[in-house]
Amino acid sequence: MSDLDWSSGAAYVDGQYMPLKDAKIPVTEWGYRRSDVTYDVVGVYYGAFFRLDDHVKRFRASMEKLRMKPEESDDQIKEILTEIVTRSGYREAYVAMDCLRSRPPRGVPLHPAYGRSYLICHVLPWVWVFTPEQQERGVHAIIGTPERIAPESFDPTIKNFHWGDLTRGNFEAHEQGAETAILLDRYGHVTEGPGYNVFAVFDGKVVTPRSGALEGITRKSVIELCQMLRLECELRDITRDEFENADEIFCSTTAGGIMPISKLGSRILGNGRPGPISTLLKDTFWEKRKQGWHATPIAYE
């Protein structure tokens, strides 16, 4: 192991550790060919995991909903994630855990019930969904034309790779000179963006969609911060018209924390800069992270 180069990242694939560059799966795996996979991502910053237990709990819930049963327990998953981070040496990292289903072996029915589930975990240097410069002036977004995949088709509380609608929205944003797209559901309610939850502020009240989106861990943190800061926070449906006329808009994700949006379509919010409540929540989030809020420190060798 001492002869291996872990500097570009580390991985765990189906029971074995290896440098990230050596991590591979067969092209026949249903996790690849059918997107029959779930995943989660936990962030490492200041040399500590943030809300590790919450991420592993959500990962387990996603696996159970997809009838996936890898050999590793939750405690073993935490040990694996810690091991790959310590091997990489990264103190600011993006740490992913995937569970995918393999193609059923020959001799049994070609049905997912006969496909084995197994884990792939990997660590990369910290990833920003939006650059620090974009966050400083506020992200530029649009409301995309693709309709978000309906909950009746796929449960949005299962973290998944079904990004066709989100990817199409992102291309629309790029073509319009924006950086990201937020999608609506079939009823015209706001759902989420590519890899993040969204919030709007109306007369000092923070509002986030109650359904149609992933139950984000950073979203959960925003709700907790609102309680600490005595800001009213409500989970409810948000119409397009409401959203486009909000006082402030921001998004939240593991790979970035709380990120203000300063432009939505042609509308400029807050004179083109992050609003006061978005900024307060963002600054408080990172200050509390620095103080060890919900942290699991990593014992680097």
End position of a domain, from candidates 63, 97, 125? 125
Give the span between the Cα atoms of 162 and 214, in whole angstroms: 12
Give the span between the Cα atoms of 187 and 76, in whole angstroms: 42
Give the span between the Cα atoms of 88 and 11, in whole angstroms: 9
Q: What's the token pair of residue 257?
A: 């924390």
End position of a domain, from candidates 125, 151, 179? 125
Give the span between the Cα atoms of 220 and 188, in whole angstroms: 24
End position of a domain, from candidates 110, 125, 140? 125
**Tally of structural domains, the chain:** 2
DSSP-derived secondary structure letter, 114: G
Q: What is the pTM of this model?
A: 0.96
Distances in Å between the Cα of 172 and the Cα atoms of 26, 110, 145, 179, 282 are 33, 38, 8, 9, 27
> Does residue 275 contact residue 247 with C-beta atoms inside 8 Å?
yes
The 10s digit of each residue's pLDDT in 152-195 is 999 999 999 999 999 999 999 999 999 999 999 999 999 999 99
What residues have CB less than 8 Å from 8, skipping those under 6 apart? 19, 20, 21
Domain residues for the domain of 213 are: 132-291
DSSP-derived secondary structure letter, 218: H
Amino acid at the residue 257: G
> Does residue 17 contact residue 121 with C-beta atoms inside 8 Å?
no
Q: How do the pLDDT tens digits run along the chain, 301 residues long?
A: 568 999 999 999 999 999 999 999 999 999 999 999 999 999 999 999 999 999 999 999 999 999 999 999 999 999 999 999 999 999 999 999 999 999 999 999 999 999 999 999 999 999 999 999 999 999 999 999 999 999 999 999 999 999 999 999 999 999 999 999 999 999 999 999 999 999 999 999 999 999 999 999 999 999 999 999 999 999 999 999 999 999 999 999 999 999 999 999 999 998 899 999 999 999 999 999 999 999 999 999 7
Sign of the Cα torsion 229, 141, 186, 217 reads negative
Task: Find the CATH number of the domain harbouring 243.
Answer: 3.20.10.10
Put the strands of the sheet holding 37-45 in their side by side order: 16-19, 10-13, 117-125, 93-101, 37-45, 48-50, 295-297
Residue 298 lies in a domain: no
Residues 116 and 182 in one domain: no
